[in-house]
Amino acid sequence: MDSALIPEGAKRCPFPVFAAGIAIVGVVVLWGVYAMGLCWLKGLNQTNMNDYYGFALWIWADLAVIAIGGGAFFTGLLRYVFGIDELKNIINLTVVIGFICYSSALLILAIDIGQPLRGWFIFWHANVHSMLTEVAFCLSLYFSVLTIEFIPLILENRQVDKVPFFHNLGHNMHGVMAIFAATGAFLSCFHQGSLGGVAGVMYARPFAYREGLLVWPWTFFLFTWSAAAYGPCFTLTVLKMFEGITKKKLVKDNVVHLLAKISGWMIFTYIIAKIIDTIYWATVTAPSQGFKLMDFYSDNAFYGIWILILEIVICGIVPAIILTKKSFRENSRLLLIAVVLGTLGVCLNRWVMVLQIMAVPVMSFDTWALYFPSWQEIATTVLPVAYGIILIALAYRYLPVFPQEKELNAD
Amino acid sequence: MFPFSFEWAWDAGHLLFFGGMWYTVAILGAGLTFCLVKTIADTLAGKGSHH
């Protein structure tokens, strides 16, 4: 039915099967859109946000998708600026993932601000003393970069490529992609950092507050570093999911192992910095504000010291060891465990830096403020995931996302 | 956002934020313009038509 649109030589499931899959995920999208409509029509009283939780589940999801989407800017930087040519075989996947993650982040923000029709205020009436203003600027501009990076892939569709204008446009955009990739890396470094900076400058929240360099708290640098380190883990997680679902090999092992190795060393250096930061915060910064480490991890039903151990040891040190040691990362099962743990690790870090901050009591007479999201918040958080599944499925079916697919599945 | 907006101030904050923003927009705009102009020229020259 749609065979004329499928990349030449590629095998895809029958169209009815594909359409049925899209329809099932589409129901989830509709559920999310309904919840989104409620939030826009009735207001943010549809959520369980309150005076304690001005940031809630959405903002965690926002920070998490931006972090795991960091594979796009980092892999783009490695491929186009540092000239690591092998990565050309996985760069398309990182661009699609990045596009999904950043469009999801903007969608979440459009819901979170409650009145998206006033979204342009942050540009027009910018508060130039706010890290979030920088985040808004860089997010929007980097999404533009990702769109520019995505266009050549769309133009490579079998039918679109037959049109001379589109063929030439795709070719010419590839020619100057290094400029766009470098711009994207610059933007990404700053907004990833500023998202960390937002937490780090909150001197009235001892759990989050960090000292730093000039106007930038250490969390600024840790967020950028962690996005670059763990982003490729999510890319590889998605790749492994694809290979599992399609029962095909899509990218050669040397490419996967190279990206895993780079990610591993980035995680290794990041986790050392994170441990130093945590020790300094626990022994100097927090005590200077009248808090002991265990004040942040006790007397409540959820946040125990387990969350710190899980983030740093299980989802940090373990993937770092697996991915930096050649024999470990070349074992497909260990590789999968490492990249999944890495992805979970960065999401957990964002959870802690968005939600645990809000929960920890600040005043001596205060109590822990645990929160559970409303169904509207859950639905609108699931919405980008469902949308992402649909978009990546369409991209895989109709675009040459994996240049090595044909060669690896010649039989 | 623009120097002619009533709330604009010629201070370091505005220069850094909006300088960075317009600089980036200029790079992206110039890159895309170059691609489009070159594509039109290539297409008129008959490139890509035998593809």
Contact B48 A145 (CB under 8 A): no
Query: How far, in whole angstroms, is CA A323 from its chain's centroid?
Result: 20
pLDDT for B50 equals 56
Query: Is residue A326 within 8 Å of residue A263, measured between CB atoms?
Result: no
DSSP secondary structure letters along A69-106:
THHHHHHHIIIIIS--GGGGGTHHHHHHHHHHHHHHHH
A:B CB pairs within 8 Å: 73
- On chain B, the residues whose CB falls within 8 A of the CB of A133 are 17
Rounded distance between C-alpha atoms, residue A260 and residue A322, angstroms: 9
Query: Is residue A149 within 8 Å of residue A94, measured between CB atoms?
Result: no
Q: Dig out the tokens for A201 from the structure.
A: 């400058």
Rounded distance between C-alpha atoms, residue A164 and residue A169, angstroms: 8
Coil, helix or strand at residue A212: strand
pLDDT for A214 equals 85
E strands in A259-311: none
- Phi (first) and psi of residue A210, to 5 degrees: -135, 150
Rounded distance between C-alpha atoms, residue A2 and residue A160, angstroms: 14
- On chain A, the residues whose CB falls within 8 A of the CB of B24 are 141, 183, 186-187
Query: Is residue A194 within 8 Å of residue A138, measured between CB atoms?
Result: yes
Torsion of CA A309, A64, A181, A88, to 10 degrees: 70
pLDDT for A215 equals 83
Rounded distance between C-alpha atoms, residue A380 and residue A395, angstroms: 23
Contact B20 A124 (CB under 8 A): no
A146 to chain B nearest CA, in Å?
A: 11
B39 to chain A nearest CA, in Å?
A: 5
Coil, helix or strand at residue A356: helix
Q: Which residues are CB-contacts of A40 (< 8 A; sequence separation ≥ 6)?
A: A111, A114, A115, A116
Torsion of CA A372, A377, A382, A385, to 10 degrees: -110
A125 → closest Cβ in B7, B40, B47: B7
Rounded distance between C-alpha atoms, residue A248 and residue A213, angstroms: 48
Contact B20 A137 (CB under 8 A): yes
- On chain B, the residues whose CB falls within 8 A of the CB of A171 are 42, 48
Rounded distance between C-alpha atoms, residue A162 and residue A89, angstroms: 23
pLDDT for A131 equals 86
Distance in angstroms between the alpha carbons of the first and the last residue of chain B:
45
Taking CA atoms, A14 is separated from A8, A18, A241, in Å, by 15, 6, 20
- The β-bridge relationship of strands A216-217 and A212-213 is antiparallel
pLDDT for A237 equals 97
Query: Is residue A72 within 8 Å of residue A98, measured between CB atoms?
Result: yes
Coil, helix or strand at residue A33: helix
Contact B24 A176 (CB under 8 A): no
Domain spanning A49-371: CATH 1.20.1630.10: yes
Please give the residue of chain A at the shortest CA–CA distance from B23. Answer: A183
pLDDT for B48 equals 77
A168 → closest Cβ in B1, B27, B39: B39
Q: What is the CA radius of gyration of chain B?
A: 18
Is pTM beyond 0.85 here? Answer: yes
- On chain A, the residues whose CB falls within 8 A of the CB of B25 are 141
Q: Which ranges of chain A have pLDDT less than 70?
A: 411
Contact B17 A128 (CB under 8 A): yes
- On chain B, the residues whose CB falls within 8 A of the CB of A129 are 13
Query: Is residue A44 within 8 Å of residue A373, measured between CB atoms?
Result: no
Rounded distance between C-alpha atoms, residue A267 and residue A324, angstroms: 9
Where are chain A's structural domains?
A: 14-48+373-395, 49-371
pLDDT for A56 equals 80
